[in-house]
Structure 1
């Protein structure tokens, strides 16, 4: 607790003492999750200095700011984060730094369209990147934010955003075609935690997570037994592990189902709260989404 308070104090002090950025320097941008890092990279390109706090496989629900992060945060001209309490342990830090430097991606969206959740701190499901239309809105939001910060680069930022938004529209079209090869009665997605509700709403899947929306809550024996009964009743062929969540919970669920004489496969690994390894196809938002949909459809067919 003392260490956490020290980090908060250092962040506030360093930001208050930070000198103004020279006009000929590139904008220093810090991002939290890998999804946001990839988004900002596509828009800012080589016209910004970009650093992401979280890497591949990192769970943002449980992420804590380290003392090493303080330097990164202090050097930032803009910090893009998801908002909606996704970065649970960082919320206090951002609230202490409540300035124009902190920008929540979720502010780009109409809150009335979000999936509500009385079980999550923000009262909304924060996994907004699984709605591609939301991510297109976020693309233009980031471009406008960067354009306001560096007006002389506005044309480049807006052009990059337009190109990326077009790629996202094509992604949605292609994924819809893939999903439509899967019969509607087989579109039941069982995962480690409730990260895929926006995906389910967009592509017509019933989504069931063993844990709740946040991985900070743990699944109990009753949760496993209840979900195993659901899987057997609905003849679900495969369930899925997640890259940022320990696989033991899904393995326990598989064992519970198999013990009742109903075989269920682990259909593969999905990327939920983080992208894949940097430099790989799954290390990009588009590649991650393609991987997830292909994995789901192939396993459930």
Structure 2
């Protein structure tokens, strides 16, 4: 009987996987069909969300790196070249986020591709972080900084579709207002946490901009002292191997600042933070992993608490604040916001 059940389960899995692939292929075909709208391709969901908001019903927007795929290491797959050829405008994060060789080469060869983070770096070089001699590409983690991509999205649309320029300008203005409100909400959420508890440890180095904008005190933001507010065992791209030295550094940091909770991320393995918990236990520390993963390099699926950029950032703020404010006794019982 067991082989029959196993075969049935495998058949269901293959069927559902095939259905999912067919559905995605159908979406791509519909996106490619000429309908008078601008065809916009964005590498990440966060960029795509802003591109859709500015373009409204005058654009058809599609995201290249879907679901929880890692944008740091994404390589072009069969069919991606057709998407690039069909796109009127291509938006990507830049700042070496998309550093898979085939994707990076294509992005910088396309004349209709806009590296939004690179453009921000040109406009505001002092606001871009350099971590261990690498540009930090996670600019969306500071809502006020990420909103600076909106004028560049508006300009790209106006250059391609000048007759509808006022439409794009107005939608860009309204979106900047909404992001300004979201920035204030995130800041207010974290301000409720006492400064001595406002320290964050996550799976990989994606929250530096978040720490500078929302965890640090005002006086810390002016220098580099905000950096103690955030640590992660893995680097800017979550693909490094942890050494005993890396683990010890995180444990020492958590002991120094009395940090007891580690936050997983929705699209990153928890292996590294589990190693931290085990190592902390050997040194007599009581550490735990938060039940609710944060959104970092990927937004949530449709219908989730992170299915738009603003919802993702507000969810992160509420989740972090809730866990940092909890007592040690109640920390492991915290529910997702």
Aligned partner of 2:74 among 60, 63, 69: 63
**Alignment partner of 2:198 out of 187, 190, 200:** 187
* Partner of residue 208, structure 1: 231
Separation in 2, partners of 1:77, 1:66:
20
Confirm or deny: 8 A CA contact 2:89 2:156 kept in the other structure. Answer: no
Matching residue of 2:269 = 246
Q: Please name the residue that 1:18 is paired with.
A: none
Partner of 2:293: 269
1:172 aligns with 2:183: yes
Q: Output one character per residue of 1:99-120: Cα deviation in whole Å (capped at 9) or x when no partner.
A: 1x11011133122321123443
Q: 1:79 aligns with which of 78, 87, 90?
A: 90
Q: Post-superposition shift, 1:186?
A: 0.8
Partner of 1:94: 107
Q: Point out which structure has higher relative CO (alpha carbons under 8 A, 6+ apart).
A: 1
Residues 1:290 and 2:314 are matched in the alignment: yes
Aligned length: 276
Question: Secondary structure of 1:217's match?
Answer: coil
**CA RMSD, aligned part only?**
1.9
TM-score (norm 1): 0.87
Q: Which of 142, 147, 156 is 1:131 aligned to?
A: 142
Q: Give the C-alpha shift of residue 219 in structure 1.
A: 2.1
Show CA shifts across 1:258-296 (max 9, x none): 222211121231111111113433111100001111111
Unaligned runs of 5+ in 2: 1-31, 217-228, 326-337
**Structure 1 runs not aligned, ≥5 long:** 1-20
- Return structure 1 stretches of 4+ with deviation > 4 angstroms: none
**Distance 1:85-1:192 versus aligned 2 partners, 3 A rule:** same
| Matched-pair contact (CA < 8 Å) for 2:201–2:231 | yes
Deviations 1:129-159 (A, max 9, x none): 1121222211122112111111122122111
Counterparts of 1:92-131 in structure 2 under 5 Å?
92-95=105-108, 97-99=109-111, 101-109=112-120, 110-120=124-134, 124-131=135-142
Residue number in structure 2 paired with 1:232: 255
Out of 5, 20, 38, the position equivalent to 1:27 is 38
Q: Is the 8 A contact 1:179 1:297 kept in 2?
A: yes
In structure 1, distance between residues paired with 2:145 and 2:44: 16
User: 219-228 or 56-65, which moves further after superposition?
Assistant: 219-228
- Matches of 1:225 and 1:163, distance apart in 2: 47
Query: How far apart are 1:251 and its partner, in Å?
Result: 1.4
Q: What is the rounded CA distance, in whole Å, between the counterparts of 2:137 and 2:35 in structure 1?
A: 36
Greater strand share, structure number: 1
Q: Call closer, same or farther: CA 1:220–1:144 in 2, change over 3 Å.
A: same
- Cα separation, 2, equivalents of 1:281 and 1:84: 27
The Cα shift of 1:72 comes to: 0.7
Aligned residue for 1:50, secondary structure, equals strand
Structure 1 residue 243: Cα displacement: 1.1
Question: 1:174-193 CA distances to partner (integer Å, 9 max, x unpaired)?
Answer: 12211111011111110111
SS in 2 for 1:287: helix
